[in-house]
Amino acid sequence: MRILLTNDDGIHAEGLRALYRRFSGEHEVLVVAPDRERSAVGHSITLHKPLRCDRVTLEAGVCGYAVNGTPADCVKLAVLELMAPPPDLVLSGINPGANIGFNVNYSGTVCAAREAGYYGIPAVAVSMPGDGAPYADDAAAFLEQVVRHMETHPLPRGIVLNINIPHLPFHDIEGVDITRLEMHPFEERFERRMDPRNRAYYWQGCERRNTFSGPDTDAAALAQNRISITPIRCDLTDQESLARLKAWRCQPDGGHGE
């Protein structure tokens, strides 16, 4: 297979190297990743400045492209320009830090996979709570198994996988759950502080909740030291609401002509 590797932590991040080590033996792998950390940029793209794409050496004999843009830019550039034809698979990660619940919308890691899904390319985002590094090779080995399943049982177009792997050696992981997003996995808050000029500033943060909306969520799986696999849809349309909204029968003139 021809595989595009990317992330939101920058081209020199350890998680990306772990994916490279695991997949470059059997596959044709190209790395196109941000030239610096771009975590939490979500699905943003760069429109108001040119994108530069520098060939960099990752380690002996391994080159990749460092892009001065976002993870979604990297996938777009790889798919439309750098790789012809487009890759068979896009892998994004391994992100240090979980990407669960509504936060997948903020995650550059997940949105890189969604960008691939938009082009109909199978894609997986992989994250690990904590700093991720010590067990990145175990996570990459698990991912290889998922990729084999995707080859034999392809997902529908526009569906990508979001995987979170506990920060543990694989023999301490309790199992694998297929999950839905826990929509409120964090207690969010702002810390209000004062700057030296006595003006307030705000720093946002959050703490993981330990209550869940059900046992079948990504957050609940991680809390039980289980791997979470969530299928994510790129098309944001809510099909179930279409009929209800059509019944509104809105008119261009605001309904005043009735």
In the list 30, 32, 35, 39, the residue contacting Mn ion (rule: CB under 5 A) is 39
Distance of alpha carbon 258 from alpha carbon 254, whole angstroms? 9
Query: Of 8 and 182, which has the nearer Cβ to Mn ion?
Result: 8
Query: Of 5 and 27, which has the nearer Cβ to Mn ion?
Result: 5
Of 43-51, 95-103, 139-147, 199-207, the segment contacting Mn ion by CB under 5 A is 95-103
β partners of residue 139: none
In the list 8, 73, 138, 177, the residue contacting Mn ion (rule: CB under 5 A) is 8
Query: Of 27 and 185, which has the nearer Cβ to Mn ion?
Result: 185
Residue nearest to Mn ion (CB): 39
Query: Of 95 and 230, which has the nearer Cβ to Mn ion?
Result: 95
User: Residue 182 interacts with Mn ion (CB under 5 A)?
Assistant: no
User: Residue 103 interacts with Mn ion (CB under 5 A)?
Assistant: no
β partners of residue 50: none
Taking the complex as a whole, how short is the minimal distance between the CB of residue 95 and Mn ion, in angstroms? 4
Taking the complex as a whole, how short is the minimal distance between the CB of residue 12 and Mn ion, in angstroms? 13
Per-residue 3-state assignment (H helix, E strand, C coil) for the chain? CEEEEECCCCCCCHHHHHHHHHHCCCCEEEEEEECCCCCCCCCCCCCCCCCCEEEEEEECCEEEEEECCCHHHHHHHHHHHHCCCCCCEEEEEEEECCCCHHHHHCCHHHHHHHHHHHCCCCEEEEEECCCCHHHHHHHHHHHHHHHHHHHHCCCCCCEEEEEECCCCCHHHCCEEEECECCCCCEEEEEEEEECCCCCEEEEEEEEECCCCCCCCEHHHHHHCCEEEEEEEECCCCCHHHHHHHHCCCCCCCCCCCC
Query: Of 39 and 230, which has the nearer Cβ to Mn ion?
Result: 39
Q: How crowded is residue 180: how many other Cβ atoms within 10 Å of its Cβ?
A: 15
In the list 95, 99, 103, 230, the residue contacting Mn ion (rule: CB under 5 A) is 95
User: Residue 9 interacts with Mn ion (CB under 5 A)?
Assistant: yes
Of 17-25, 39-47, 80-88, 142-150, the segment contacting Mn ion by CB under 5 A is 39-47
Instruction: Go through the chain and tell me how many residues it has.
Output: 258
The contact pattern for Mn ion, residues 141-180, with x = CB under 5 A and - = no contact, is ----------------------------------------
Q: In 3D, which of 128, 124, 112 has the Cα closest to residue 161?
A: 124
Taking the complex as a whole, how short is the minimal distance between the CB of residue 8 and Mn ion, in angstroms? 4
Structure tokens at 21: 């080590």
Query: Of 27 and 69, which has the nearer Cβ to Mn ion?
Result: 69
Of 94-102, 169-177, 209-217, 244-252, the segment contacting Mn ion by CB under 5 A is 94-102
Taking the complex as a whole, how short is the minimal distance between the CB of residue 202 and Mn ion, in angstroms? 22
Q: Which residues lie near Mn ion (CB under 5 A)?
A: 8-9, 39, 95
